Every structure is written in C-alpha cells, then in structure tokens.
Amino acid sequence: MKDYIVEGNTVREIERDYSQPFKKPVSSTVKKNREKAAHMNVGYVAFLLFMAGVLFVVCTAYINLRNEIIEKQKSVESLQSKVAALKLENDEEYDRIIGNVDMEDIKKIAMNELHMKYPDSGQVAVTENNDSDYVRQYKDIPSE
C-alpha cells in the first residue's frame, strides 16, 4: 500500500521504510490476552506435564490392548481353521462308516434276533420337525 501526499497540483509518493512489515493497531484487550497467553506460571506448566503423562499412559494402554485384541483375533482364526479341518475329517469318517453299514443286515437282525416289526397304522405319532437329529420325549404321547 502506497501513501501519497498532495501538494499543489501534483501527488508525490512518501518514502517509507519497508524493512518492517505494516502493523495494524492492536486494541488493549488483545494486548492483555496476548500477555496472559505468553505468561505461564509453575502451576500451569505442572498441569500440562501431568496431562501429557496421563495422555502417554492412556495411549500406551490403548496400544497394548489393541495388540492383545489382534493376537486374540489371530488365535480365534487359527482355532476356527482347526475346527473346520476337524469337521471335514469327521464328515469324511462318518461317510466312510455309513458306507460300510449294510441296512439289510440291520433289518434282518432287528426282525429275527430282536423280534422287532413294522408299526401298525395306529402306533405312529407325528411330531413337528425342529430341524434336530433326535427327539427327546419328556411325557407320554397323548392318545387321540
């Protein structure tokens, strides 16, 4: 910003010292606030150091907990893969065992040695299917 002087009918430039930047006038309230901000007493410094220590402890605890969680997640993933492998092995073994069972032999043993027979039409009770492999009977089935 240039300053000009008007003398007569000509305008001349004022020579300025541009080595220092142009400063706006500052109000007294702003000056007081700046002085307060610049001045730190012992209590304030102690409080800041205490809070920095608390922040350090909290951050360290957070990082340790985060590492523990990551390790446990890896452990869970490892156990889940082991469970999947064991389930696959168990299914293969079950299929092998079932493949060796002859249902006709079981039927002959049940009918001839254990004297079992097919049920009559009135002896069959129909229950709801709960998608389970077996039914537990806690009470007698009511007759109709």
- What is the pLDDT confidence band of residue 112, given thresholds at 50, 70 and 90? very high
Q: How far is CA 56 from CA 49, 53, 62, 71, in A?
A: 10, 5, 10, 23
Residue 102 is predicted with a pLDDT of 86
Distance between CA atoms of 118 and 49, rounded to whole angstroms?
Answer: 87
Distance between CA atoms of 134 and 32, rounded to whole angstroms?
Answer: 84
pLDDT mean over 82-106: 92
pLDDT mean over 3-29: 65
For the segment 65-84, what is each residue's pLDDT rounded down to a tens digit? 999 999 999 999 999 999 99
Least confident of 13-17, 77-81, 115-119: 13-17
Identify whether the C-beta of residue 110 lies closer than 8 Å to the C-beta of residue 116.
yes
Residue 132 is predicted with a pLDDT of 67
